[in-house]
Amino acid sequence: MNPAAKHIGLIGLGLMGRPMGMNLIKAGYSLTVWNRTASRADELVAAGAKLARSPEEVAAASDFLLTIVSDPPALEEVLWGNCGAMPALKRGSIYVDSSTISPALARKIAAAGAERGVRFLDAPVTGGDWGAKKGELVFMIGGDAETLKEAEPILSVMGKKLFHLGPNGAGQTIKLAMNMILALQVDALAEALALTTRSGIAGEKLVEVMQSSMARSGVLDVKAPNLLKGEYVPSFPLRLMHKDLGLALDLGNQLGVALPATAAAREIYNAVKGAAKEDLDYSAVMKFWKR
């Protein structure tokens, strides 16, 4: 199928949404966008996207809608707030949400979509803004397999791997579990670096040994340089990691699963978030020991 014949809507042009939209345009799709702060659409509009006046207008123009906004309240606002998208979604269309939200909200959206004949996938992503720019995101997907098959050509423009994990909510559940691990790994690395450097040994020594041990990891490759240099330009903002740890703890409560390590890590992210004067990457958790 000619990509230009498929009308895609994109709501949420933050750190992730902008490069994802750019890759859709480059692949030849016709794109209509909306963002709360309209100026964030400038680059996409210059590249050929149409700017809508509301989420409702985007949904009404789309065969395929993608949303990627900060958190559950932001998503509820764009779907059911003033001129929201949900009531305007076309029967037969596919709606994919890539925000990280609660599995319960994903299931609520799926049910509301089904009532209107709209097929929904929860499809949060991992890979940071770097993965979004390169079109190398990893999608964690919950929903119907047939719907995913239809959505696959579009999602593949933005991602290198699509994991189908179960019914609606499964994508979000795995995403929260993934982010718990990433948050704990970076927190553990920061603690160990604090101990090492306070002993008078360069942090680089610890990292060097870890690279030759079982503690070697992608997190070490990507985040250790930030921690060692004390540079925390947001790739995945700390405020969003903090939000995800909260969502994971809520899910643990609902399921009756104790998450003591996650609870402790969230306190540390919370302290750094409270003291931060600017937007920082989550690797800035190191600042807890630099105060």
Report if residue 12 touches ligand NA7, rule: CB under 6 A: yes
**Is the CB of 12 or the CB of 203 nearer to ligand NA7?**
12
CA distance 69 to 18: 11
User: Hey, which residues does 142 pair with through a beta bridge?
Assistant: 122, 166
For tokens 């995945």, what's the residue?
Answer: 236
**Is the CB of 122 or the CB of 193 nearer to ligand NA7?**
122
CA distance 36 to 159: 25
> Is residue 120 within 8 Å of residue 93, measured between CB atoms?
no
**Is the CB of 20 or the CB of 190 nearer to ligand NA7?**
20
Exactly one of 8, 9, 10, 17 binds ligand NA7 (CB under 6 A); which one? 17
| Strands 30-34 vs 7-11: parallel, antiparallel or unpaired | parallel
Report if residue 109 touches ligand NA7, rule: CB under 6 A: no
**Is the CB of 206 or the CB of 284 nearer to ligand NA7?**
284
| Strands 137-142 vs 125-126: parallel, antiparallel or unpaired | antiparallel
> Is residue 8 within 8 Å of residue 64, measured between CB atoms?
yes
Q: Three-class SS of residue 119?
A: strand
Report if residue 33 touches ligand NA7, rule: CB under 6 A: no
Q: Min. distance of Cβ 130 from ligand NA7 in angstroms?
A: 12
Task: Please say if 175 is a catalytic residue.
Answer: yes
| Torsion angle (degrees, nearest 10) of CA 143, 144, 147, 149 | 100
- Name the E strands within 23-92: 30-34, 50-51, 64-67
Q: Which stretch binds ligand NA7 (CB under 6 A): 6-14, 42-50, 146-154, 198-206?
A: 6-14
**Is the CB of 74 or the CB of 207 nearer to ligand NA7?**
74
**Contact positions with ligand NA7 (CB under 6 A) in 42-61:** none
For tokens 């709501």, what's the residue?
Answer: 11
Report if residue 172 touches ligand NA7, rule: CB under 6 A: no
Exactly one of 6, 51, 70, 217 binds ligand NA7 (CB under 6 A); which one? 70
Report if residue 235 touches ligand NA7, rule: CB under 6 A: no
Positions annotated as catalytic residues are 175
**Contacting positions for ligand NA7 (CB under 6 A):** 12-17, 35-37, 40, 68-71, 74, 77-78, 99-100, 237, 240
